[in-house]
Amino acid sequence: MKKRIIIIGATSGIGASLARQAHGKGYIVGGTGRRVERLEELQKQLGEEFYFRQMDVVEPGNASIILHSLINEMGGMDIIVLNSGISNYPASSISSMEQEIIDVNVSGFVNLFGEAFQYFRQQGHGHIVGISSIAALFGSARAAPYSASKAFISTYMQGYRNRCYHSDYDITITDVKPGFVESEMTEGKKGMFWVANTDKAVRQMLIDIEKKKKISYITRRWRLIAWVIKLSPNWLIERI
C-alpha cells in the first residue's frame, strides 16, 4: 500500500522538491501553500496522485480545517512535513516583521503539529517531520527571531518525542536541521557557505525520513558545524 505524505509549504524550494521526489518514489503526495498557481503547476507535473489545498498557516482555524479536508481526499495520512517558514535575514528590527516570523514559524507550526499529533494518536501510528535549522543551535545577531523560532521548533519536537517514548504512542518525530540550501529564502544573500543544491539536500532528507531518524542534518557535513557550535564557549558564539 502506498504511503501518504502531506507537505505543509510545498510551493517552492525544499517543499516543492520534496513533493516531486516523494511522488517519484511512489508516495501519494499532498501539498499546501499560499500560492495556489504553484500548487496547480505541481499537479500538472505530477498528475492525479498529487493533491493540494491553498493554506495560510497564520489562520489556525482555517488551516486545521484545510488539513483535515486534504487528509480525507487523500484517504489518510502517514507522514506530515511541517516545512512552512519565513526569515528576516538580513536583520530587521521592524516589530511587525518579527511578529510575522513568530506567527508563521511558531504559532502556525504548533497548530498543525497538534492537529497531526492527535490524528496519529487516533490512527495508532504516524510520522511528524519538522523543518528547523542549524540556526536553531545559537542566537544569530543577523536573524534573532528566525533562529529563536527554529530553536523553539527543535525543543518542542524533542519534548513530544520524549512524550512518545514514555507512552505507547507509535509516532515518530524527526527534526530536520538544514544548513544553507538553495531557495527563494537564501537567494542573493551574502555570507553563506556550503550552500547545497535543493534536490541534493532533499534526497538526503527523504532518506533520513524513511529511516525514521530523530535528527537529520542537511546536508550531512552540517553535522560537523553542529558539533562545533555545541562545543564552543558563549564568548565565541557571541562573535559569530
Contacts 24+ apart (CB under 8 A), 135-141: 136/177, 137/177, 137/226, 137/229, 137/230, 138/229, 138/237, 138/240, 139/237, 140/89, 140/240, 141/91, 141/240
In this structure, what DSSP letter does residue 177 have?
Answer: E
Mean pLDDT estimate for the chain: 89
Instruction: Give residue 170's Cα distance to chain centre.
Output: 20
Average pLDDT over residues 123-141: 90
- pTM (global) more than 0.85: yes
The predicted-structure confidence for 8-53, as pLDDT tens digits, reads as follows: 999 999 999 999 999 999 999 999 999 999 999 999 999 989 999 9
pLDDT range class, residue 208, cuts 50, 70, 90: very high
The predicted-structure confidence for 133-168, as pLDDT tens digits, reads as follows: 998 888 777 778 999 999 999 999 999 999 999 998
Fold observed for domain 4-237: Rossmann fold (3.40.50)
